[in-house]
Structure 1
């Protein structure tokens, strides 16, 4: 019997539900509020959460995303993605190789890979990835990244040459998400700008609208 086709990555905002930002707020509550604002992609990134708790959180966030019609990805943890029945994973420079992630996940789930240029995007496609995260587009304090800032022109060049959909990552917020969209990027990854907002759901709505305006040239 053929495996069901894996989901497509929705365009627009790509939100990170992160346990290192706004540590006072539980991850499930963060996800709930993102989804209340219309989030269509949620990546669950748990670098500090103990593994048993992480599995419980992953299962609940996957359930919430599925109910909302959103895609849920796990950062790095292929094991948790499988156990929680998530839609896929995103792997970075120091995580499991994309080939290994694809081998473990099979053909029915998404694999995203962090790359720095179009050459990396081509390698990611050969490894079985569905999309790439490219950055840092701007300077960021959320995560230490050993790579130069691309800027919008650099991002646009990668978008043009990449064989896979590109999600711009690094320092993206309300003041620049429209320009990320205007570069041709499929999506824009946002972390602190949402998680540090007083009203997460409203911030998601504002960011979504700004991305759409940038995408259509408004």
Structure 2
């Protein structure tokens, strides 16, 4: 028997469904609005949600994404990703090490790692990661203790030399997503700019179009 193939990370906006942003709307509802706008990657970040509720939400979002042809990744929680049959995980500096996430998930799921520079990107590759989240590219209010801002020039330099596809993270929104794409990013992670907009679905449509413009140089 052939082993199941690992999903491919599609290029474009990478939408985070965060339980701390717009908490009055359920994670499942937020994810549905993101996917309806054209999101092909949704990451669930559930730092405040009780574990049983988080597992139930993850299972629902995984099912939603499968129906709509999108990927569902889970931030940090390898256990939830496994139990809900998600497409993979994204881990940071204080989460499960990438090599352990890979050992637990096996070869058929994606592992993403947050890095700050090219050294981190190469270490992530050696640990078995499929892609890296690099940043913050711009100032961000999503993280309580944000890392120093890279800026576009330094970001583009790391992207050029990275052995793995790069997701630009930190402060990305409609006003600058095209510049992140133009700098060579495979994806651009968006949180508040999408979830706090008056019309989440329409905002995602505009983010998708802007990213494509940036990649094409239009």
TM-score (norm: length of structure 1): 0.99
Instruction: Determine if contact 2:131/2:166 at 8 Å carries over to the other structure.
Output: yes
CA deviations over 1:1-22 (Å, ceiling 9, x no partner): 3311100100000000000011
Q: Indicate how the Cα distance of structure 1 residues 145 and 115 shifts in structure 2: closer, same or farther if over 3 A, else same.
A: farther
Partners of 1:3 and 1:195 in 2: how far apart?
37
Partners of 2:63 and 2:134 in 1: how far apart?
28
User: How many Å apart are 1:147 and its aligned residue?
Assistant: 2.2
Q: Indicate how the Cα distance of structure 1 residues 5 and 123 shifts in structure 2: closer, same or farther if over 3 A, else same.
A: same
CA deviations over 1:15-50 (Å, ceiling 9, x no partner): 000000111111100000001101100000000000
Instruction: Determine if contact 1:136/1:145 at 8 Å carries over to the other structure.
Output: no
CA-atom RMSD in angstroms: 0.7
Secondary structure of 1:90's counterpart equals strand
CA deviations over 1:30-73 (Å, ceiling 9, x no partner): 00000110110000000000000000000000000000000110
Partners of 2:71 and 2:79 in 1: how far apart?
17
Q: Aligned pair 1:195/2:214, yes or no?
A: no
2:124 aligns to what?
Answer: 124
List structure 1 segments (4+ residues) > 2 angstroms apart after TM superposition: 144-147
Partners of 1:212 and 1:38 in 2: how far apart?
12
CA deviations over 1:66-85 (Å, ceiling 9, x no partner): 00000110000000000000
Partners of 1:207 and 1:71 in 2: how far apart?
17
Length, aligned pairs only: 218
- Correspondence list, 1:1-218, <5 A: 1-218=1-218
TM-score (norm: length of structure 2): 0.99
